[in-house]
A and B are shown apart, each in its own frame.
Chain A
Amino acid sequence: MSFQKKIEVTDATKVYGKFKAVDSINFTLEGDGATAYLGPNGAGKTTSFKMMTGLINPTDGVITIGGYDIRRQRKQALSGIGALIEVPEPYAALTVKDSIMFVGELKGIHKKDVEDHIETFGKRIKIPDIDRKIGTLSRGQRARVVFATAFLGDPGIIFLDEPTNGMDPAERIIVRDVILDYKKEHLIFMSSHLLQEVTDTCDDVIFINKGKITLKESTEEVERRYKAKSVRVEFAEEVKLQDVISGLRGMASEVTPEGKLEFRVAFDGTASTRANILKGCMKICDVLTFEDYGSSLEEAFVSLMKED
C-alpha cells in the first residue's frame, strides 16, 4: 500500500490522570488543501497534533496517517509527513546544514535533493547561514530551520502547529505564501492563534474546545454563518454614549464605548440592520470610519466558546 494523503481520526482520546485532554474526537481529511485546527489555549490542539505524529499515544481510539496506523505502523505513517510541532530544538551543537541533512538522510532523500531544497526553499523562507550552529540561533530562526525540514522530501501531509509562533510580520507573510503554494498539492493541517492567517490560507476549519470537536466546516461556510455581528464606528466629534444608544434604538443590541470618538455596536448580523445602523450613526454625527468588528472567524470562535 502506498502512502495516501489522508488523516483519519476515530474516537481518539487522551487522558492524563483524571483529566481528558482530548475526548473522543473524530474527523477525516483527504486530498489536497489546508485545514485549520482552532481552539482556545488548553483546548486539546497540541495534544491532538502529538497523537497524530506519534509523539504520544492515544489512550483510546485509532489514528491513521496516510492509511497507516500511527501506533502500529509508526515508520510507514511518518514516512510521508512533515511536521512542525511546538518549538522543536534540533541539537544545539549541530549546524543548520547538518540538521537539515540529518532529516534528509532519515527520510531517504538523495543528498543532491536536500542541497537543492536548502538552496531553493531555504532561500525562500530565509533560513540562517547554514554553517551556523543551531545553539546560536534565535527562536524564530530555529523555527524556520525546522519549517524547512518539515517540507523536505515533498511530504504528502504537513502538520504545522502554530507555525508562525515567534516570527515577525515579514516572516509570517513568507510562511503564509508557502502554505498557499503547497496546499495546492499537499494536505496541510495547521493550528494558529492568528485567525486572519487562517482565513487567508485554510479551506476548512475544525474547532476544538475542552477536548471535543465543536465544529467542522469549510471556511467559506463558517464565514457565511458567522458574519460579523458587530461594527466599529468612529465619529468626527465627541459623542455621548446615551446619544448613540438613543439614536440606534431598535437596531443595536449593545453599544460599548471604546474611546472618546469610537463605539462598538453589536447587532443581529443582517445586512439591512447594518445599513440602518450606518444611517442612524450619520444622523447623530459625521462618521469618520465604519467597519466590521473582527473577522467572521473571530465571531465563530467567540460564539463557539460561549456556546460551550
Chain B
Amino acid sequence: MEMMENDSKTGSISDLILTYIIMKYQIKFYLKTRRFIAMLVIVSLISIAFVAVDFYEGISLILSLDQSSAIFISGGLGFVGLSVGLVASFFGGDATSIETGTNSGYFIMVQPVRKISILVGRYLAAVTLGIVLILIEYLAIAGMSQYIFGTIDWKILLSIGEMILLVLAYTSLAFFFSSIFKSPIIGILISVLFSLILFSVIDTILELTSIEPWFSLNYAETVISNIVYVSGFSHVVTERIRGTSIKIFTPYIWEGTLIMIVYAVVFFVLSYLLFMKKEVKPQ
C-alpha cells in the first residue's frame, strides 16, 4: 500500500469554537431532558410560593416588618443558596462521568476535540442554565419588591454577582464529584447530599464548638442575601442556650466571596486533572 495524504473534508477548528459547540449541544441536550423540566418546576414553585406567602401574610404586615426594599430582598434571597446547590448538582454531577463511565464516551471522545474543550463547554452550559433558572427566583423577589415598596434596591445586582459566583462554585464541586465517581447517578447524588445536607451539618457542628466554618460553601453562600442589607448582620453573635454560650458566625462579604472563588477555581482544576487522567471505561 502506498502512503497517501488525506483529502478529508474536515477543517481545523480552534479550541474556542469547539468549546462553544460542546456548550451549545450540551444546552440543547439539557433542555430536552426531564432534569431541566424538574429544575424549572422546582424554582418556579419556590418563586410562586414566595409570592403567595407575601400575599398571605399581608402587604401591610411586610411593610411594617421589613421597612425597606433592601431588608425585604435580603430576606427573600435566603433560600437561593438551596436552589443553586440543587441545580448545580443536577447539571454538573454527571458532566464527566457520562463520558468516562458510560458508552456515550465512544461517541464523543473519538472526535477531534481536546478534553479541556469538553470540560469547559460542559461547565459553561451547566453554569449558564443554572444562572438562568435561579434568575427566575430573583425575578419573583424583585417583582414583589417593586409591588410592595414601589422600588427595587440596586444592591440586588451585587447579589446577582454573588449568586453567579455561587453557581460557579457549586458547579465546580459537582464536576469534581462527577470526575471522581464512575457512575453518573452517584456523582449527582453525592453532589446533592453535600449541597443540601452535609455542609449544613458541618456548619452546625462547628457553630456548637464556636469554630468559624470558613471552609464551608454553605457558610459562604449567606453573602448572597447579606450583601443587599450589610448593616443588618454582625460577623459574630454570641448566644446563650441553657447556660452554654455558642458563637454564630456570619461571613464578611469579602470572606464569603473569597470562599466561593476558591471553591470555583480549586474544584474546577481538580476535576480537570482527574478528567485528563481518566480513561473511557464504561461499567
Contacts and interface: CB of A to CB of B under 8 A. Distances in A.
| A and B found bound together | yes
Interface in B78-121: 102-115
Contact of B107 (A3, A29, A75, A90): A90
A155 interface: yes
A158 B23 CA distance: 27
A108 B11 contact: yes
Interface in A57-97: 57, 66, 74-76, 78-81, 83, 85-91, 93-94
B10 interface: yes
B32 A94 contact: yes
A76 B106 CA distance: 18
Contacts of A149: 107
Contact of B3 (A30, A79, A98, A153): A30
A91 B111 CA distance: 15
Contacts of B18: 106
Interface stretch (A48-56, A172-180, A253-261, A275-283): A48-56
A27 interface: no
A105 B3 CA distance: 28
Contacts of B4: 4-5, 31-32, 156
Interface in A148-168: 149, 153-157, 159
A203 to B, nearest CB: 8
Q: Which of A4, A54, A98, A146 has the largest number of chain B CB atoms within 10 A?
A: A54
Nearest to A87: B103
Contacts of A79: 10, 12, 112
B240 interface: no
Given A55-B279, A107-B10, A153-B8, A93 B110 contact: no
Nearest to A78: B112
Interface residues of B, number: 40
Contacts of A93: 29, 32-33
Interface of A: 2-6, 29-33, 50, 53-57, 66, 74-76, 78-81, 83, 85-91, 93-94, 98-99, 102-103, 105-110, 113, 133, 146, 149, 153-157, 159, 187
18 contacts: A3-B5, A29-B1, A30-B1, A54-B109, A55-B280, A56-B279, A56-B281, A78-B110, A79-B10, A89-B107, A91-B25, A106-B21, A107-B11, A107-B111, A107-B112, A108-B13, A153-B10, A155-B6
Given A5-B4, A30-B3, A154-B7, 8 more contacts: A55-B110, A56-B280, A88-B106, A98-B25, A106-B21, A155-B8, A157-B6, A159-B110
